[in-house]
Amino acid sequence: MTTEDDDNRPARRRVTLTGISSRAWEHPADRGALSALRELRGFDDVVKTFFGMWNERGFRLMFLAGAIRVDHRQYPRVYQRFTEAASTLDVAELPELYVAQDPRINGQAIGLDRPFIVVTTGAVEKLDDDELRALLGHEIGHVRSGHAVYKTIMQILTGWLANVSWLPVGVIALRGIIAAMLEWWRKAELSADRAGLLAGQDPAASLRLLMKLAGGGDLSQIDTAAFLEQAAEYESGGDLRDSLHKLGMTAWSSHPVPVARAAELRKWIDSGEYAQIVGGDYPRRDSDGDASVTEDVKAAAKAYREDFANSQDPLVGLVRRLGGGAADLAGSAAGKAYNWVSDQSRRGRQNNGGDGTPEA
């Protein structure tokens, strides 16, 4: 059945992805990190207990007091797009959704025990129905993948970094942890972009959303092909000085730049994976318990090797020419991380009498 959007255009027919697992949209590097963490029995409980000093209720109350909670009475257009995105991703229990005052287009998923979603008034005002559906699907993807828990931890650690800036040793250790989490989070954003595309099933709308994130709400004088040309120039243009500038721009950023996100989403579409999932070929939630952390970590290492081998960045090209061993750097690091996780998980099972079945 087709429906009509607010502007009376016939809405695009969307396929309900019954029982879809978050593994379907997770970037290999994101999924590898998540699988390794999930393999540590009780890790989430330990994290939540450790960060119990941070009052999630207080953070939620801040939005309850100073933002608009969305439902069929408040921001009904947003609520309708929200339910559509959730229905397409087969999410029965909707997280709470708030609209907060901010002219920028933005959204976030927050929380440890009861993650909730916040989008800005800029997003509501500047996005059409299809773009808004993609944004809301993006945030639902974060919640379904469990990203909100680790993003909240990262935000807390960043706050701690400011508080212990007078302790050089503490800062160095904390900066290392935060840098590693930021690298993972940039991959998590690519995963959520895929979830947003699957929720809306409109590639043009997902690309428009990224264009609007880069250049505001008016696309009447902006061209998608030209925007993707920007992405190609950003990836391969310039010399080593530009490569160093890009490192400086991204190393401490939680999000890839919009042109890079557009290029990655286009690459995923062109790979055929998106069409395969919409066609019904995707992992189901009821098979999450059978997922192999070994294979997930191997896939993450492979993704990093392929990125290194195919990158057009001048600095990466120089490293490739200087030595072939650098291409295996990510794979080696991922392998060591998996060995450590497996060892810790094995010890935990021996101590607790567990059966060794990985948790979803």
Q: What is the pLDDT along the chain (360 residues), one digit of tens a residue?
A: 334 454 555 557 899 999 999 999 998 888 777 766 666 555 566 666 655 555 667 788 899 999 999 999 999 999 999 999 999 999 999 999 999 999 999 999 987 778 899 999 999 999 999 999 999 999 999 999 888 777 767 666 666 666 665 556 556 666 666 777 777 788 889 999 999 999 999 999 999 999 999 886 778 888 888 888 888 888 776 777 777 777 777 766 777 889 889 999 999 999 999 999 999 999 999 987 776 666 766 766 666 566 656 666 665 566 666 765 444 444 444 444 445 444 544 454 444 444 333 333
The partner residues of 335 in beta bridges, in order of sequence, read none
Place of tokens 């907060």: 100
Nearest-CA neighbor of 179 among 255, 252, 257, 243? Answer: 252
**Across the chain, how many H-helices and E-strands are there?**
16, 4
d(CA 354, CA 346): 9
Out of 26, 56, 139, 189, the active site residue is 139
What kind and span of H or E run contains 222?
none
Beta strands in 261-308 (DSSP E): none
pTM beyond 0.75: the answer is yes
CB 142 within 8 A of CB 90: no
Task: Give how far Cα 59 sits from Cα of 110, 118, 145, 220, 293, Å.
Answer: 9, 12, 21, 38, 33
96 belongs to the catalytic site: no
* 203-215 vs 224-236: helix crossing angle, rounded to 10: 70
Rounded CA-CA distance 188/300 in Å is 12
Residue 294 contacts by C-beta under 8 Å, 6 or more apart in sequence?
A: 338
